[in-house]
Structures are given as C-alpha cells and as structure tokens.
Structure 1
Amino acid sequence: MTSAFYIIAVNRAAGIIAFIDRRSPKHAAGDYWGRKPSRDELPALIHTSDVACGLWNRGQGPENPALGKIEYSLVGPIVNFETEKIILEICGQDHAPRCPGIDFAITDQRAQALLGSPNGQAVGLFLAQHKRQMGGEYFVNKVTLFNSDLVVSRPYNLFTVQGSTTEEQT
C-alpha cells in the first residue's frame, strides 16, 4: 500500500477536468514508508496524467465516440508549496485575486511558470502524453489565476485548452 490517492472530477459534456487533490504513489509511499521507494515497488499507474486520461475516456465507445472535447482543466485548491511560491511572485502579495482572477496568455512567462509548476505539470502531461487517447492535439492557451469568494481560500488555476480532434485535422 502506497497511501496514494487522486480526486479528479470529469464532466466530458462540459469539456472540463478538475484536479482537486492528489498524492502520487511515489511521494505518498515515500512519506508512508519513511524511505524512497524503488520503481518496481510502485503500481503501474503512477502518474496523475495517466489516471486522468482513463477517467476522461471512461464511457467513450462506439455509441458516443466524440463525447466531450476538452476545453478546460481546473487545478485547485492549490496547497503545493512550490506552486504557492510562484503564485506569490506573480501576484506580489500573499494571495491570488478573487474570482474572476487574472488571465495570462500562454506566451506570458507567468502562464508558463504556472503550467510548469508541480500543479500545472499534471495538465501539461495529460494533454501531451495522451494525444491518441484524447482524439487529437490539445494545448493550453491561457491560464486564469484566482481565489474563490470564500473568506479563507486557496488559489486555483484554470487552464483554457484549445486544439482539434483527429477528425478536424483531416
């Protein structure tokens, strides 16, 4: 047992996948076992992106092959220290602005920093590593950074995704 978990919400009809909370087998096992696990001690599915791909494609079949083109990926609430440091540097304060937040085009270094953060990497890997399963090429074109309207809130990143399905590319 690694003590790993994934809380991922999927709404294919709305085109959104949300990474709510997660702890990979590699990191969870290290904490749980008190040592760094070797690769052969870990389960076959160790990456958030692989689990997310399976959940996204769940229910797809001959009767609904084109159900849900991905348009958004929500990550949060963010509790990862490294990502929080990036957000602090971007905002220049100890919290992100309240919803609707700030938008950054992917050409902006701030958006690239958020996509390259530990929390953003799950989104990037999900899109980059699973093109065939996703039915096309997708990429992040905008990142929105925000806090909810709650008094005590953690930041969120909304990654806007664009791309085309394999059918649209032909």
Structure 2
Amino acid sequence: MHRRTAKTSFYLVLLAAFIVGLIWRQPAQWSSSASEAVIVRRSNQANQSVPSAFPVVHDQTSHGERLRKRGVLDDCHNRGCSLMKLCETSEIEDKWHATFTTFNQIGQYGWTTQPDEKNDDEAASSKPALNALNIPEVGDGSWTKIKWLNSVAVDVEGHHYLASEAYYTNIFNPSHGAILAVDNHAPKDTSPDMESGDITPLYRWSDITFLTWLSHTTSDAELQGIKHIIRVNVINEDTVDCITNFVPDRNIDNLPQYPGLQFESSSVAGLTLLGPPNGVGVGFFLLQHKARLGKTRRVTSVRVWESSTPDEIDMMGSIPCMLFELSD
C-alpha cells in the first residue's frame, strides 16, 4: 500500500472524524452558539524546579485540560532543564554515553533501508526556514533522504529480537550542517503491545539518526558541524500541547507562519519545548554522542512556526514545525 505523508494522513483522518461527527450529531446541538464551542486539538520524557512564573494553562481548551491533568508542562520543563544541564556539562556519567557507535550496528539490530520517497509537504514546510538559513531546499543534491524500518527479527548476543515495524525517516545535509526529521515513529508507536524485552535495544531516534549522520559525513569538522535540526510537521500530542501554551492566547491556530516564534534555550518556553518527545530526541542526540559531536554541544534556541496555509488551518487545524539551533 502506498504510504501517505504524516501531514496528509492526519488531514484525511481528521476530515473523516468531522464527517462522522456531523452525521451522528443530535439536531438540538446544531443551535449551539460559537461562544460555546470547544476547541478540539489533534491526537497523535529533572532536577531543576519549575520557575514560579511558569504559565498556567487554560482549562477550557482540550489541550489545556490534557496538560493540567497529566502534568505535561511540569514534566517537560523539568526534563528540558535536566537535558540542558547535562548537555552543558563537559564530563558526564558513563550511563549517558552512547551504547551504539558504528553504522553497521543499525543493520545488525534488524533495521533495513527503504526506498526514497518524494514528499511535497515536507519540502514546502521546511522551505522558509531553509531559505532564511541560506541552506538549499529539499531536492537539492546536497540532501540525502534515508528511511530506516525495523523489519527484521534478529538474534544478537544470544537474545532474539522481533521486528517492531518502527520507522525513522530523515533528510541529511552534512555540507550545510542540517537534519530534517520528517516522519519518525518508535516501536512504542508502531507495536504498543510488544514486550520491551522483544524490542531491539537499538531503537531510539537519536541513535539511529546519529549513526546515519556519522556515515554521511566525510571529516570530523563536518561531523561536528551539525547546526540545525528541524522537526517537520509535528503531530505528537504532547509536543503540540506544549507549543500551544506559548502562542498568543494559547490557541495553536494563532501560531504565526515562519519566522514564527523563537525562544532562547534558557527561557521557560525553550526549556519546556526541549522536554516533549520531539525535543527529547534532539537532546539525547547531543548528550549521548558528546565524544563525537563536542562535549558542550547544546540547543541554543527553539523556533516554532505554522506549516499550514490559512485555508488548511480553517479546515483542518494547525500543524507546527520546530527548528532547534545547535552550538557550543
């Protein structure tokens, strides 16, 4: 079956849900005023305390209700604080060092490459940021798109690991120090009922992405020259909810298009946005590979912007992008 893009698939699912809702809705509900409408948002890991000025979410919105009940903002902010502290520390405990260090280990642990697929959505969504950074657009020969699929059951060191069908699709540009993370789903997403002992230990986005980056660089200078990681068309629920808390009126539909909003990594927003899944992966990419990327490499700012057109937002809602700027 032909795989739809994450953004297109999301639109189709949301449209179907909207149509079903209209069909089953009771007649009396059609008279509800606009002021009574509930904002519905999409569905899709510290040791420093949260500042007293930490923003309070709006409980009348569905995203605010999720954040309040589950403590997502507190958790993400604390996690972001811990990651930032570890990234800024030149020497860390052995437990944070990468276990996997060679490119050949990807295949050894059950991952196979899949055909390169053209995707107009990711090209369009990343275009304004790449133009502003003076980086060629997707499609230029300096980019290489790689999709890894955990499709093979393997036996490694006496243990049998099953295929989880997890997949990581990213686009690499070592000559310009950039990675686009475009379609990434961990084993817990693709095989939620699989026992943890059956999942390959090489399963993190940060490890797969680093080893691929390592294999495509031609010198230490290029390896350590990673400056930008862009999360394209973010649909993870926790990440979107955290972004929503820092946009005008805490309404994700008010997120501006590029250049969007930029937050320094030392700010409440910057630290919080390092804490949800789309930020944690970037943090671990830097943290666990200090020996190769640089001992104090860290996120210096986080930029978020709207990838959808106004018409798309009116019909289907917002889908943001995130740019993590990296430096020593």
Question: Which of 178, 195, 198 is the matching residue for 1:41?
Answer: 198
CA contact (8 A) 1:53 1:133 kept: no
In structure 2, the partner of 1:70 is 226
1:12 has 2:12 as partner: no
1:93 has 2:255 as partner: no
Deviation at 1:136, TM superposition (A): 4.3
For 2:216, what is the secondary structure of its paired residue? coil
CA contact (8 A) 1:105 1:141 kept: yes
Deviations 1:59-115 (A, max 9, x none): 345xx3322501111112110111111111111112321101111111110111111
In 1, Cα distance between equivalents of 2:205 and 2:321? 17
2:286 maps to a residue whose letter is: L
For 1:45, what is the secondary structure of its paired residue? coil
CA contact (8 A) 2:303 2:323 kept: yes
In 2, Cα distance between equivalents of 1:149 and 1:94? 12
In structure 1, the partner of 2:289 is 130
Question: Which of 190, 197, 211 is the matching residue for 1:54?
Answer: 211
Deviations 1:126-165 (A, max 9, x none): 01111123254310011111113634351011011001xx
Matches within 5 A, 1:88-167: 88-91=244-247, 92-95=250-253, 96-148=255-307, 150-151=309-310, 152=312, 154-163=319-328
CA contact (8 A) 2:290 2:297 kept: yes
In structure 2, the partner of 1:168 is none
In 1, Cα distance between equivalents of 2:309 and 2:298? 30
In 2, Cα distance between equivalents of 1:60 and 1:81? 33
Larger radius of gyration: 2
For structure 1, list consecutive stretches of 5 or more residues without a partner in the other structure. 164-170
Instruction: Tell me the TM-score normalised to structure 1 length.
Output: 0.84
Q: Which is richer in strand?
A: 1
CA contact (8 A) 1:99 1:149 kept: no
For 1:13, what is the secondary structure of its paired residue? helix
For 2:302, what is the secondary structure of its paired residue? strand
For 2:327, what is the secondary structure of its paired residue? strand
For 2:191, what is the secondary structure of its paired residue? helix
In 2, Cα distance between equivalents of 1:124 and 1:55? 17
Instruction: Tell me the TM-score normalised to structure 2 length.
Output: 0.45
In 2, Cα distance between equivalents of 1:106 and 1:133? 22
For 1:103, what is the secondary structure of its paired residue? strand
In 1, Cα distance between equivalents of 2:294 and 2:320? 31
1:18 maps to a residue whose letter is: L
In 2, Cα distance between equivalents of 1:99 and 1:85? 19
Greater Cα shift, 89-98 or 154-163 = 89-98
For 1:67, what is the secondary structure of its paired residue? helix
1:48 maps to a residue whose letter is: W
In 1, Cα distance between equivalents of 2:290 and 2:304? 26
Deviation at 1:39, TM superposition (A): 2.7
Q: Which is richer in helix?
A: 2
